[in-house]
Structure 1
Amino acid sequence: MEEFMLPCLNKQLFGVDCLGCGAQRALVLVFQGEFAAAFKMFPAIYTILILLLFLLTNLFLKFKGDWYVKVALILLNALIIIGAYFYKMSFLIN
């Protein structure tokens, strides 16, 4: 499956992971049932899947306040992605 994945241009050019490094492999791990390994690979995988599920559902079911839910999920994902990135980079520096 790895031969079909897109390479990280940031890692190829600069040798440093980007904020999304590991997302593709984590998604494959989720589909294979390796849930803990997927979380270790990319901690925001589950909140991103929840966001995508909400966005797809919201295409058909509209309700009052859905904008706030979208913004909250997006901010939660951003915090997890950035936090996990700095956590990962702190171990690479040490």
Structure 2
Amino acid sequence: MTLILSVISPEDFMLPCLSKQLLGIECFGCGFQRSLVLLFRGEFVAAFKMYPGIYPLLMLGVFIALNFFFKIKYAEKIKITLVVLSIVFIVTNYTLKLIN
């Protein structure tokens, strides 16, 4: 079993970015899959550097899941805040990638 896990890595199953392949330009989601892999490996700072929007998006996902099962006060305001925060992180990261 250990031999199989050392031969197969999560990177083998990642989807390619069609925007980057066809146009040569990264999309807003470029780095998300690699960031998730880094996150699962416990490399939290590297995951943030790879894709800064990972943490607001995960918080949004967890919040939506919790809100599905429990009634949370001010849920709509919290969701909107997390969505805006995610968009700001993603757009800022994308702009910085284009500039550099």
TM-score range, shorter chain: over 0.9
Q: How does 1:11-90 map to 2 (within 5 A)?
A: 11-90=20-99
Structure 2 unaligned regions, length at least 5: 1-9
Structure 1 distance, partners of 2:73, 2:41, is: 36
Flag the structure with larger Rg: 2
Deviation of the 1:3 alpha carbon: 1.6
User: How does the TM-score come out when normalised to structure 1?
Assistant: 0.93
* RMSD between superposed Cα atoms in Å: 0.8
Of stretches 26-35 and 57-66 in structure 1, the one that deviates more from structure 2 is 57-66
Structure 1 unaligned regions, length at least 5: none
SS at match of 1:19: coil
Runs of 4+ in 1 over 2 A off after TM superposition: none
Count the aligned residue pairs: 91
Q: 2:19 is matched with which residue: 3, 7, 10? A: 10
Deviation of the 1:63 alpha carbon: 2.6
Deviation of the 1:64 alpha carbon: 3.1
Structure 1 distance, partners of 2:35, 2:11, is: 12
